[in-house]
Amino acid sequence: MTDTRTPAYRPIPSDMGIPFIGYAKEFMQDPMVFATTLERRNGPVIHTQIMGQKAVVLLGPDANQFVLQDREGNFSSFGGWDYYIGQVFPGAIMSMDDPDHRFQRRIMQQAFKKPALMAYIAAMNPRIEERLSHWRPRSDYKIFPGIKKLTLDLATSIFLGEEIGPDAERMNQAFIETVDAALAYIRKPVPPFNMWKGMRSRAVLEDYFYRLLPKKRATETPDFFSQFCHATDEDGARFTDKQVVDHMIFLLMAAHDTTTSTLTTMFYALGKHPEWQERLRKESLSFGKPRLEYEDLEKMESLGWAMKEALRLYPPLTSIPRRVSRDCSFNGYFLKKGTLVGVYPIHTHRMPSLWTCPETFDPLRFSPERNEHKQHMFQWIPFGGGAHMCLGQHFADLQVKAIMHQILQQYRWSIPASYTMPYQHVPIAKPKDGLPVRLEYVAKDRQATPA
């Protein structure tokens, strides 16, 4: 006989913090401390409240797999992301559910195939060289704005295939305001608050992309904008004008802030660990060429481990939201349809049960001899996992390596041992002080005393 009794679920511990605001302050200040504190008090599944949103926090690699891989189709990305990005990034692929998501991702994937990536790298290298030629030795060179300028410049050439020229600063500001709107407390576009600024900036970006669109539809060039205009899936389906514009705006944000964050944290870690900086410099110099080709970048072993380790310690996206779309259960805990849930890459990335000395920068943990990251498929997830896994992972890897290869050959940098980077973790991780470093030339004949 079938047992029709309701299974006995474990009650989810509730830890709500201050009424209405909940743990907004703790979450914004440091999601790692927030998650570990909740876990210490309640265990790995916690019902809590952040910014007026009730949510269940699910911690650990099994939870990441359950939510992100989502084998049973229990979760909605739209339901998770729409509250944060729906108004300023409408039509973003990250907040789509099937069947729309599957359909649009299949078209978008065309722009990330190997021949396209090879063309992007070829176009990127001279731009990196040109940008770096403006970097000068200084005792307090601010890395974050320097890198942001460089990646924005690359974004315009590789993503748009255009020179933005005098509009560059305005566009940069528009991106900053749209991203900041994601975590606005006041969700209505009321002046002068962040959501209003974000929506105003969104209109600036739309106007820019719609003006360029006819030109991009007319010719095929090796940039994402043109690729999106011309890409088709196996059945010949293409993006509409609105889809192209929505995807371009989302892509620029997704690509630009995340790689800037990764490069910045690599600078920080390599400034703190000069022995690793020297090791990577030696690796880069051993290639004997100032710019690397697509194939070379794959061979940069130590640089690859250092990038992975920076992404482990400082994932640009510290948490990933979803909404339960059908009643389900995880490890005996009942998750009701409509519940907001969040997984925390930053927490899993520092679990002592998975990583030796998790707070230590130790790139060799990714070497084939140790393979620490291979105990669980969902223990190292800076790029997420499952159907929404980052489409730009390979591109980000190439871009970061291409930039670092050129920087390592030309510049050496150091950070005082006493310095700890003040960090803003959300929406996308970045240093609050711009990360000042002492920057010098590597080559003796270019030696100049830092200003």
List contacts with ligand HEM (CB under 6 A).
Answer: 77, 93-94, 105, 251, 254-255, 258-259, 262, 316-317, 320, 382-384, 388, 390-392, 395-396
Q: Which residue, 114, 116, 113, 209, is CA-closest to 160? A: 209
Select 258 or 284, whichever has its Cβ closest to ligand HEM.
258
| Residue type at 112 in one-letter notation | F
Provide the minimum distance between the beta carbon of 174 and ligand HEM in the complex, in angstroms, as a whole number.
Answer: 18
Residue nearest to ligand HEM according to CB distances in the complex: 392
| Eight-state DSSP code of residue 68 | I
Using CA atoms, how far residue 439 sits from 54, 245, 271, 278, in Å, is 46, 39, 10, 14
Select 380 or 395, whichever has its Cβ closest to ligand HEM.
395
Select 48 or 95, whichever has its Cβ closest to ligand HEM.
95
Q: Which residue, 21, 1, 64, is CA-closest to 346? A: 64
Select 291 or 308, whichever has its Cβ closest to ligand HEM.
308
Select 184 or 248, whichever has its Cβ closest to ligand HEM.
248
Q: CA-to-CA distance for 72 and 360, rounded, in angstroms?
A: 37
Quick check: helix, strand or coil at residue 106? helix
Provide the minimum distance between the beta carbon of 22 and ligand HEM in the complex, in angstroms, as a whole number.
Answer: 22
| Residue type at 414 in one-letter notation | S
Provide the minimum distance between the beta carbon of 219 and ligand HEM in the complex, in angstroms, as a whole number.
Answer: 21
Provide the minimum distance between the beta carbon of 357 and ligand HEM in the complex, in angstroms, as a whole number.
Answer: 23
Token pair in block for residue 273: 């660990």
User: Interhelix angle for 241-272 vs 100-108, to 10°?
Assistant: 70
Contacts of 301 (CB under 8 A, 6+ apart): 283
Provide the minimum distance between the beta carbon of 162 and ligand HEM in the complex, in angstroms, as a whole number.
Answer: 16
Select 67 or 440, whichever has its Cβ closest to ligand HEM.
67
User: Interhelix angle for 114-132 vs 393-410, to 10°?
Assistant: 30
User: Cβ atoms within 10 A of the Cβ of 161, count?
Assistant: 19
User: What is the dihedral sign for C-alpha 117, 119, 123, 125?
Assistant: positive
Select 87 or 260, whichever has its Cβ closest to ligand HEM.
260
Provide the minimum distance between the beta carbon of 345 and ligand HEM in the complex, in angstroms, as a whole number.
Answer: 7
Provide the minimum distance between the beta carbon of 246 and ligand HEM in the complex, in angstroms, as a whole number.
Answer: 11
